[in-house]
Amino acid sequence: MHTYTFSQLSEETLKTLVTLDGKYIPPEAWEKMQIVLTAEEGRQLEELKSKLRHRHLLVMNEATLWARAIYPMLMLAEQGNVQAWSSVPLKATYPTFELEGEADGVLAPSLGGRIQPPYLIVHEAKRGLHAPDPLYQLCGEMLAAAWLNWERAPNPEQEIFGCYTVNDSWVFVRGVVSDIETDKPRLTLEFSPDYNGILDAEQIVQLLKFIVAKHLKELNNG
């Protein structure tokens, strides 16, 4: 059995491991996935936006951009025992392949201060002319998270959310992993519109809150 790190994954490699499907949903559907911010969350977000407007985000290094612009928005989506985490190791053993590596960030439950299987994965895209397409590394991370959730609750379909950021732009991905115990699982993807990290910051946090609330509801019902 071969082990793939997330950074090794390309479209060609991924298609040898899973059946990769895309499903179109209109942008309006994503607009309905939102939970209104509280007054305090709105105040914190406005303060964050006011700081970012006066920073040169395009020339910030990746670690600084993550700390200033991305992680604070993830923290605004925390609810209950679900919190934001950085630099999260993930490993999954499917029937015919293994995946391992580290996710830049996740939203995941905490149990006694220890991270549980994540429900949303965040991948910060590398920069540069020859930087890899962030989607396929994100897909690998989502597949690993889906497997970890399947071990906890072996439902035939595992829903997992992800997003990748390019500078201050965000793209969300909803994934459903099925046929998870077969030699070639199926990964079906739906894509959001592009969101600007400053102009669309409220929509981004509302969407993050919706995803967390959805997961908490499923946990409570399960």
Domain boundaries, the chain: 2-221
Confidence category of residue 219, pLDDT binned at 50, 70, 90: confident
What average pLDDT score do residues 18-24 get? Answer: 94
Q: Rounded distance, CA 180 to CA 51, Å? A: 44
Task: Please say if the pLDDT value at position 55 is more than 90.
Answer: no
The pLDDT of residue 52: 84
Task: Please say if the pLDDT value at position 129 is more than 60.
Answer: no
- If residue 101 lies in a helix (H) or strand (E), which one and from where to where? strand 97-111
Work out whether strand 186-196 and strand 169-178 pair parallel, antiparallel, or are unpaired: antiparallel
The pLDDT of residue 127: 64
Comparing 219 with 48, the larger pLDDT belongs to 48
Comparing 57 with 195, the larger pLDDT belongs to 195
**Residue at token pair 């002319």:** 129
- pLDDT, tens digit, 9 for 90 and up, residues 139-171: 999 999 999 999 999 999 999 999 999 888 999
What average pLDDT score do residues 195-220 get? Answer: 92
| Contacts of residue 6, Cβ cutoff 8 Å, sequence gap at least 6 | 90, 99, 100, 101, 102, 103, 137, 140, 141, 144
The pLDDT of residue 222: 61
Q: Counting beta carbons within 10 angstroms of the beta carbon of residue 84, is it exposed (0 to 12), middle (13 to 18) or buried (19 or more)?
A: buried
Comparing 27 with 128, the larger pLDDT belongs to 27
